[in-house]
Amino acid sequence: MRRWLLPLLFGLAVAGIAYEAALIATPRVLMAAAVRRVSALGGVNVFRATPLATASARTIVRPSPDLAYSSCVFDLTEGPVTIEVAPVPAPYWSLSVFDARTDVAFVRNNRGSGGGPIRIAVANPGQDVPPGIETVRVEGARGIALIRILVEDRARFAAIDAARRESRCGRLR
Amino acid sequence: MRPWARYALCGLGGLALGVGGAVMSVRAGAFGAGATIGPWTTGTDYGTAGASAYTRAVVALRGLLALPAREARYYNAAVDDAGRPLDGRCRYAVRGGEPGGAWWSLTLYDHDGYLVANPAGVYSVESAAVPPAERSAWTVAVAPGRQGGHWLPSGGIDRFELTLRVYLPADGGHGNLPRAALPRIERLGCP
């Protein structure tokens, strides 16, 4: 039995390290899966305007049925990406940018923008962005930019839907 | 058995135990397990680099792309006021008031965090749907079959959860709402 003591202690140490490593890896793994699901529907560096969520929505957990979402999977492998959000006729809208680890790198809503459009560049550290463009630096090549728009009345959705399609996500040129 | 074989066996066992344990604990974790207030759980560190590895893992599973606290606060309930799991076959009265924010919504999800199919196509009740006279004391009926007043269909599923979102919280998202400001969840009856 004594011959098993050290191997068992070794096994316990491995269990502890594996537990922490699995926890640390979980956000990246789940974010990568979400990036794959979203980009499979609309590609990368382009906003995809999703319909209002219903029971058949399976792309993202806990979708809010009161919000209209537009999502853009950005890929910085070939350079920075610009995101332009057009104002929409709704009491609340916001842009949030999530990096590969699921951290929020940027959030601004219509109050913060004074009701006007939002224009930012998303870049990795070290990537060149021309001066004059507000720049959000993120770790990792891929992430998700998400526009949320409050739809208080589904009857007004058509006007909101038309306005939100003016938003742009694409390679910085 | 040779010594290396004992180490290999225990090492593999430890690996399985560690990864399996992490998967199980994350799957068992509630969205917003930072604080428990009555039946509600919440947290303020979603989407922030300061969150613990465990919180980040649970949020990534249960609420990926959640907003930070200053933009929205999320309160989640998987049990009623008496601590019993929320059962989609039962009838509930959810009673609340003004939670302090630009607007709020109450949404019903299944345990995996997806909206629950129902013939009425109703998934949430939001503050704009509550007339001004009711805003300080509103009641939402949660039940599988149609109810009068504000109704949130539970689809008759085994287990459901409620998420209260408070957007642009009045205190900038720094503090949790006290018990009295969060809705009460009373089970009225089960078949």
The predicted structure's pLDDT at residue A138: 95
Are A54 and B123 a contacting pair at CB < 8 A?
A: yes
Q: What is the ipTM of this complex?
A: 0.75
Within chain B, how many helices (H) and strands (E) appear? 2, 10
Q: Whole-angstrom Cα distance, residue B126 to residue B105?
A: 4
Q: Do B67 and A27 touch (CB under 8 A)?
A: no
B123:A53 CB<8 A: yes
- d(C-alpha B113, C-alpha B135), whole Å: 27
CATH for A111:
2.60.40.1610
Instruction: Please check the confidence at residue B43 and state whether its pLDDT lies above 80.
Output: no
Option in B23, B63, B118 nearest A61 (CB)? B63
- Within 13 Å of residue A134, how many CA atoms lie on the same side as its CB? 11
Residue A173's pLDDT is: 81
pLDDT digits (tens, 9 = 90+) for B136-172: 999 999 999 999 999 999 999 999 999 999 999 998 8
Put simply, the answer to whether B47 touches A61 (Cβ < 8 Å) is no
pTM as predicted: 0.81
- Quick one: fold of B31-189? Jelly Rolls (2.60.120)
The Cα-based distances of A76 to A44, A125, A140, A167, B178 in angstroms read: 10, 11, 8, 19, 43
Using an 8 Å CB-CB cutoff, list chain B residues near A57: 114-115
What's the Cα-to-Cα distance from B24 to each of A22, A29, A169, B10, B187, rounded to whole Å? 11, 16, 38, 20, 29
Alpha-helical regions (H) of A3-46: 5-42
Average pLDDT over residues B91-113: 94
Parallel, antiparallel, or unpaired: how do β-strands B150-153 and B138-143 relate?
parallel
pLDDT at B33 over 60: no
B45 band by pLDDT with thresholds 50, 70 and 90: low
Cβ–Cβ contacts within 10 Å for residue B112, how many?
11
Least confident window among A38-52, B101-115, B153-167: A38-52
Contact B64 A34 (CB under 8 A): yes
- Contact flag B18-A64 (C-beta cutoff 8 Å): no
Query: Which of A17, A31, A37, A66 best tests the B interface by mutation, with the highest count of B CBs <10 A?
Result: A66
Comparing A116 with A60, the larger pLDDT belongs to A116
φ and ψ at B181, to 5 degrees?
A: -90, -10
Integer Cα distance of B109 and B102 in angstroms? 23
Query: With bands split at pLDDT 50, 70 and 90, how would you rate the model's confidence at B64?
Result: confident
Domain with A120, as residue range(s), is 42-171
Mean pLDDT of A72-87: 96
Q: Which residue has the tokens 């979603």?
A: B46
Distance from CA of A150 to the nearest CA of B (A): 10
pLDDT tens track for A96-151: 999 998 888 999 999 999 999 999 999 999 999 999 999 999 999 999 999 999 99
Residue range A137-169, pLDDT digits in tens: 999 999 999 999 999 887 889 999 999 999 999
Structurally, how many domains does chain A consist of? 1
Instruction: Assess if residue A32 is contained within a domain.
Output: no
At B67, the pLDDT band (50, 70, 90 cuts) reads confident
Q: In this structure, is residue A150 part of a structural domain?
A: yes
pLDDT > 60? residue B47: no
Between strands B103-110 and B124-126, the pairing is antiparallel
Closest residue of A to B56, CA-based? A27
Task: State yes or no: pLDDT of B31 exceeds 70.
Answer: no
Give the nearest chain A residue to B55 (CA atoms): A23
pLDDT at A167: 96
Name the nearest CA neighbour of B55 among B32, B78, B89, B86.
B32
| pLDDT for res B61 | 79
Domain spans, chain B:
31-189
Q: What is the pLDDT of residue A35?
A: 87
